[in-house]
Every structure is written in structure tokens, then in C-alpha cells.
Amino acid sequence: MKITVLGCGAIGKLWIAGLIQQSHDVQGWLRIPQPFLDVNVDSVNHSPFQLRILSNQKEWLSESELLIVCLKSWQVSDAVNALIPFLRAQCPILLIHNGMGTIDELAVSESTKGRPFLQGITTHGAYQQGQNIIHSAEGITHIGPLNASARQYSDLAEVLHNALPDVAWHNDIHTISWLKLAVNCVINPLTVFYQCRNGELLQHSEHVQAVCDEVYQVMEREGVIPTSQSHLYKYILDTIELTSNNYSSMYQDVKYQRHTEIDYITGYLIRRASAQGLVLPENNYLFQFIKQKEGNYDHIST
């Protein structure tokens, strides 16, 4: 397949390396255009992948049969809108990011009407070390349709699974997105609040539970109830344990004075809560807390 990967950070490069090894034709797309991109990935079993590939080729973009978007949630709608005029109408667009709400922003634009959008939620761990991407933990990527025109693309799950296993297709990706949102609403701002790794949140279980209970109320009103309130809490505790050594992405964003994804995590939750007539004191406090942290940066990194 001919594929463009928009956003060539750690996760974007994992996809590029995996897809090229399956003989797909893949180019990268960078915010600051450049004709080539070096992809150096150390896999979990330490075998290295190194290749210089083309990037930012308009003709390639217009021939692409899949656009994979691996950007931070706040970058997605502007970046995708800029590429839409060059894409074929039937080119599926897979959005892989934390948080929710980007599809609502994209749906506002006339040019996105009827375009097939898919959501991807991944648990792969990867980070940049010098020029290399270290694939630190294998995981699973859940994908599914964000609109009716994307429902016919379930075959993509197999293509993607062969490149970077595991990949699972879900007709109802909305519920999975909400579960991941719940995890991110609890873990991400609280690790900034307590200045800690994910695992240390187990020492603040009352606070974890209070934030989690508010998320559950919103999920209930939204009609997304995959589980009971106590199961959601247990699911979040299990995720804290599984990722106990991690510094959450928001912790790292604040540490390096980068724009966080709070507007698409807690911000999205609060917007849905107010549409449902709910007030969320714990989450409101954490939202303001992170906004204040961002406001205190002496500069903003990208």
C-alpha cells in the first residue's frame, strides 16, 4: 500500500519502520517540510531498523491509500485540514492520539465531509534517545471507525497488525476511547499534581477514586457504560500498576514546558459534563491546575 505518516515522533516512526518491513511504500510528513527523513528504530528485541525515506512529497500524498496521523491531539485538526485538499476522497485517515474531540473539530470543515476517519488508541511504549527511537514496550492498538464511511475499512486492521502487532478492530471504538480517556483523566494530571511516576499514585488512592468517580458519572450520562463504577476504578488501578515505572506524557510535557493535551483529556470530559448538566469539582480543579502550570512556562517548547 502507499501510505503517508503525518507526525514522525516516536510512535509515527514505529509505524513507518513496521510498515516498510512489510514492503509497504511509506513516506513521512513533517510540520517543517524536508525531503528526507531518517528512521532509526531499536525494536523491543534490540534489532535495529535504519533507513532514510522520502518525506513531504505532494504527489505521494495524493496517491496515498492511507494517512496515519501520529500527532498530539491539539495539533491534529490544523495539520489534517492542511492535507485534505491533496488526498483522494476515499483515502482513510487514522488518528492515533490521546484524548478525544479532534473528530468534532474536523467535522466542522466542509472539506472533511464524507471522508473516512478512524480512531487508533495504542499502548505501545516508545521514546526518542538521540537520533534513535527506542521501542520500549510492545502493546496493542485498537482501531475503529469514527464515521459511517470508515466502517468498510476493517481490513486495515490486518495490514496494520502485520506491521506493528497487536492491532484489534472494534466496530464500537467510542467505548474504548472513553475507557482510555478515563485512564488519562486520572493518571495524567495527578502525576503532575503529585510530581510522580504513575505507580506512586497508588499512595493517593482516595484522590484517584474521587477523580475516577466523576469520570464514571459522565460516562453514565453519555451512555458509555462498559463496566460498573468499581470496575472502572479497578481498571484504572490495574493500568497504574502496569505502567508504574512510566512518567505520564503530561508529566513529561509539563517538565519540558510543552503544550499539554489537557484540553482533549480533562477539557473534553468537562465539556461533555456541562452538556449533561454535571459539575465536576475534582476534574475542574485539575484542569485549572494544569492550565496554570502551562501559563507559568517561561517559554514553550515543541
Does 188 sit near ligand KPL (CB under 6 A)? yes
Q: Which of 2, 180, 255, 291 is catalytic?
A: 180
The total number of residues shown for the chain amounts to: 302
Instruction: Give the count of residues interacting with ligand KPL (CB under 6 A).
Output: 11
Does 248 sit near ligand KPL (CB under 6 A)? yes
d(CA 291, CA 218): 22
Question: Which of 198, 260, 266, 283: binder of ligand KPL (CB under 6 A)?
Answer: 198
- Cβ 91 to ligand KPL shortest distance, Å: 28
Does 75 sit near ligand KPL (CB under 6 A)? no
**SS3 string of the chain?**
CEEEEECCCHHHHHHHHHHHHCCCEEEEECCCCCCEEEEEEECCCCCEEEEEEEECCHHHHHHCCEEEECCCHHHHHHHHHHHHHHCCCCCCEEEECCCCCHHHHHHCCHHHCCCCEEEEEECCEEEEECCEEEEEECCCEEEEECCHHHHHHCCHHHHHHHHCCCEEECCCHHHHHHHHHHHHHHHHHHHHHCCCCHHHHHHHHHHHHHHHHHHHHHHHHHCCCCCCHHHHHHHHHHHHHHCCCCCCHHHHHHHCCECCCHHHCHHHHHHHHHHCCCCCHHHHHHHHHHHHHHHCCCCCEC
- Cβ 152 to ligand KPL shortest distance, Å: 29
Q: Which stretch, 30-38, 103-111, 127-135, 182-190, contacts ligand KPL (CB under 6 A)?
A: 182-190
Residue number with CB closer to ligand KPL (22 or 245): 245
By DSSP bridging, strand 125-129 and strand 117-122 are: unpaired
Q: Which stretch, 45-53, 74-82, 137-145, 244-252, contacts ligand KPL (CB under 6 A)?
A: 244-252
Does 141 sit near ligand KPL (CB under 6 A)? no
Q: Which three cell numbers stand for residue 18?
A: 513496521
| Cα four-point dihedral sign 70, 75, 76, 80 | negative
Residue number with CB closer to ligand KPL (36 or 127): 127
Does 184 sit near ligand KPL (CB under 6 A)? yes
Residue number with CB closer to ligand KPL (124 or 272): 124
Residue number with CB closer to ligand KPL (183 or 224): 183
Does 183 sit near ligand KPL (CB under 6 A)? yes
> 180 an active-site residue?
yes
- Cβ 62 to ligand KPL shortest distance, Å: 33
Question: Which of 16, 71, 80, 187: binder of ligand KPL (CB under 6 A)?
Answer: 187
Q: Which stretch, 22-30, 63-71, 148-156, 242-250, contacts ligand KPL (CB under 6 A)?
A: 242-250
Site string for ligand KPL, 8-27 (x = CB under 6 A): --------------------
The residue ranges that bind ligand KPL (CB under 6 A) are 98, 183-184, 187-188, 198, 239, 243, 246, 248-249
Active-site residue numbers? 180
